Chain A
Amino acid sequence: MTTLAQKRKLQRFWLVAILIMSLAGVVGLVLNALAKKISYFYYPSDVIPKDRTVRLGGLVSEGSLIKIAHEQSRYVQFNIEDENHQKIMVRYKGLLPDLFREGQGIIAEGKLLDDGVFEARQILAKHDENYLPLEIAQKIKAKGLWKVSQSAQP
């Protein structure tokens, strides 16, 4: 005849066993995913690895956006630059987001090709509640009326 305390012990054993097993499984999954399934973020001045999908962030250089229309392929091309004025050319076949503008901060997700062109599979621009054009925001700031929030900064 097992006592209540023994039963409780047995049950705690099973509970702990199940917990450890599922925890081990989950930790395995997570470590594997952390090693393989996350993407790193770079600025144009960084050394960017060529073999994996990364995110490239910076400002779209003024006057650099070109739309190229051949009969067979159409794509857009522009430069991303950072504070060191280092530039990388980005090529993108999809639709640019509505917030995309020259001089605006964006993030491009894709791969760096051997010819030094970054082929993006996705372009991200941030949308938040304060989406004022920078000039207007600066004017308000100059009057000391409003603390400008940063938008589109990675």
Chain B
Amino acid sequence: MIVATGYLSLLMAGFLSLVLVLASWLYRDQEAPVVSCVLSLSFTMTMVSFLALMVSFIRSDFSVMAVVLHSAITTPLIYKISAVWSHHEGSMLLWLLLMTTYNFIVGKQKLPWVQKRFVLIIQGIMTALFVAFTALVSNPFRRLEPVALDGHDLNPLLQDYSVIFHPPILYAGLQALSVVFSFSLAIILTHHHIKDQILKAMRKWTLASIALLTIGIGLGSFWAYYELGWGGWWFWDPVENISLLPWLAAIALLHTLKAHIAQASLKRWTLFLALIGYVSVLMGILLVRSGLLISVHGFAQDEERALALLVLVSCICIPAITLFAVSFKDLEKGRLLSGMNQPWLLMLQSIIFTLAAAVLLLGITYPLLASVILEKTVTVGAEFYQATILPILLSAIFLLGIVPFMRKDGMDVDLLKRFALPGILLVAVSILVFLWIQEAPFYRNMAFLSVMTGMWVLVMTVMRLIKLRAQKQVLSHGMWIAHCGVAALLVCIGLEKGWTNEEIFALKPGQSMLVQDIQITLKNIDRRAKDNYVAETAELEVYNKSSRHILKPEKRTYIPAHKMTSESAMCSYPWGMYYVTMGDSYDDGALSFRFSFHPMVWGIWLSALIIALGTIMSWVQKKRLAKTFSKR
């Protein structure tokens, strides 16, 4: 009964999106009440559908295929709930829920109907397409006959708190770009003068998207760090890289939007970037969910699904890009950029970010191209990206250090003079040290460059912030905070990548050994049965002269899933983290361990949070920003 209701409301939501398209099309002149009525109805329908699937999971209804495959009687309640969006079919439902939620919010926004109408039409068409895809090709409510007695349990690796929130936050960020996409298309379609209202709404959605994506990607990386047990937080895996594409595009867009709002320049470039954001999201969906990429994570492969996805994605992307190309000449031209000022820098930044995204895309798809064209199987890994993406992004971030001297009308020479000394000192020291450590391996040189670039931006930005405080000027603090976050992120990444140390060793119970001035003792091994798994826990004592820590890495055998996972143990020391993973046991009773020191690794996620915080602050400050514009 519940399952049937869920499926029916899913279909209803699709039907209602078509009604939305029709209603927005018919009411040309004025917004009719029926539109907001349809919007809230379709939101309710997807909500009902989503809740129906959730109830099936909570009640362990093993007549539903998805429940059998991703849940079990013994699965803890919280993971029964998160299992709803931890697999392909259910996550599509979450995707739809977010889509209709955003449609509803757009409906509530005060915007000129001429353009809002088109936004709703485009959103309606996309929602209908996604409903069709979900209902026809990846139906989460598919029945199983005969009913199974127990399920296969959720993948143990996904039974973790950070993965509960990772998909919803990431999807919320990705989906926000769909609204930006529709705004851009609506502007192109209406050929109208772009009103500030629309631009500010676009800016809001872009900011929301960046904040959510930053947190979502950060959570994913945090999960990979402590759950996969490899001791890394970014593996340059295609699926991970794909999540960066929309993030880079959204950041580039945010900066051109600023130039657009402030100086009415970069108009067509802004519209293009707004399209590209969601196009990259859709491409990501296609590549990740079709199994086209060779990845260590991601979804299972299915040819039928791949084909359907290809059709879905082309149905949205090809008309959009064609429309942009066809109407490019007719679009309103932006005002001229004059001299070396802020918009110039903003444009440069967006170009570099777009190039970085392009190279990333090349790296992701190169194995695919190589297998088709060269008939060779290749892997593009960390080394490739370190030699390409990193220098590109470093040059963009280096420019961040100049931002404090930039005004809308040119360089702030007074400020430049005052900041010159520390800046020159910093650059000189970096060059000297760099020449001195030339012999170091490539990755360490890159790491050093990252640290110094980060420091450069940090020093310049913080000095500017202090000056702002002294002058009691409160101009977009959010931006400065986000920039500090980016700089801090770079510093921490550099330190972690350049100076992480790893040791592999084996210990018998009671044995101890010295690893780089740290004494490690295996105290005890303990076996214990929990809810749906049996745990084997080692107790390691780590003694580093000043402090004593107990680390408890664990190996779990999940019973319904017949699967093993390792739980790494970690603890912080003032400048980083110790990280230990337990491996197999040897015949002589020794257990193998991998022990590593990660300098400043927690700073990476902290910086991501700072970036998100700065972005959110920029959003809140929107009103103040508007006032300064009106004063101008």
Contacts and interface: CB of A to CB of B under 8 A. Distances in A.
Interface string A92-103: 011110110000
Contact of B294 (A4, A38, A95, A154): A154
A137 to B, nearest CB: 10
A59 to B, nearest CB: 16
A77 to B, nearest CB: 12
Interface string A1-36: 000100110010001001100110010011011101
Nearest to A137: B152
A132 B300 CA distance: 11
A23 B362 CA distance: 14
Contacts of B366: 34, 38
B25 to A, nearest CB: 38
A58 to B, nearest CB: 12
Contacts of A30: 359, 362, 388
Given A67-B586, A128-B297, A95 B592 contact: yes
Given A69-B588, A94-B594, A33 B387 contact: yes
Contact residues on A (Cβ < 8 Å of other chain), bracket = 35 or more
B351 A40 contact: no
A114 B530 CA distance: 48
A4 B338 CA distance: 12
B377 A154 contact: yes
Contact of A41 (B298, B300, B377, B593): B377
A131 B561 contact: yes
Contact of B351 (A22, A94, A126): A22
Contacts of A38: 366, 378-381, 383-384
A4 B359 CA distance: 36
A67 B587 contact: yes
Interface stretch (B6-14, B52-60, B195-203, B563-571): B563-571
A129 interface: yes
A142 interface: no
B586 A129 contact: no
Contact of A133 (B301, B388, B562, B564): B562
A96 B383 CA distance: 23
Q: B87, B336, B347, B384: which has the most chain A beta carbons within 10 Å?
A: B384
A149 interface: yes
Interface string B463-476: 00000000000000
A128 B355 contact: no
Interface string A132-154: 11001000000001110111001
Contacts of B358: 26
Nearest to A132: B152
B584 A96 contact: yes
Nearest to B556: A98
A58 B417 CA distance: 62
A7 B157 contact: no
A89 interface: no
Contact of A19 (B144, B301, B302, B351): B351
A64 to B, nearest CB: 15
B86 A22 contact: no
A128 B352 contact: no
A154 B391 CA distance: 30
A76 interface: yes
A71 to B, nearest CB: 10
Contact of A8 (B155, B336, B362, B564): B336
A129 B378 contact: no
A145 B359 contact: no
Contact of A39 (B300, B359, B379, B504): B379
Given A33-B388, A95-B594, A98-B564, A128 B300 contact: yes
A39 B141 CA distance: 42
Contacts of B586: 67, 69, 74
Contacts of A39: 378-379, 381
Contact of A32 (B337, B387, B504): B387
B290 to A, nearest CB: 12
Nearest to A126: B296
A145 B148 CA distance: 12
A111 interface: no
Contact of A95 (B70, B352, B563, B583): B583
A145 to B, nearest CB: 7
A95 B379 CA distance: 22
B360 to A, nearest CB: 11
A74 B380 contact: no
B622 interface: no
B479 interface: no
Contacts of A145: 65, 144
A26 B391 CA distance: 9
A74 B504 CA distance: 9
Contacts of B563: 98-99, 131
Interface of B: 65, 69-70, 86-88, 144, 152, 155, 157-158, 229, 291, 294-302, 304, 336-337, 347-348, 351-352, 355, 358-359, 362, 366, 376-381, 383-384, 386-388, 391-392, 504, 506, 555, 561-566, 581-584, 586-588, 590, 592-594
27 contacts: A19-B351, A26-B359, A30-B362, A40-B376, A40-B379, A67-B587, A69-B506, A69-B590, A74-B590, A93-B504, A94-B583, A95-B229, A95-B593, A96-B584, A98-B564, A98-B565, A98-B566, A109-B379, A125-B296, A128-B300, A130-B69, A131-B563, A147-B302, A149-B291, A149-B300, A150-B301, A154-B377
Given A29-B391, A95-B592, A129-B70, 18 more contacts: A8-B336, A22-B352, A22-B355, A37-B381, A37-B384, A38-B378, A38-B381, A40-B378, A40-B379, A41-B377, A69-B586, A95-B583, A109-B379, A127-B296, A131-B563, A136-B152, A147-B304, A149-B301
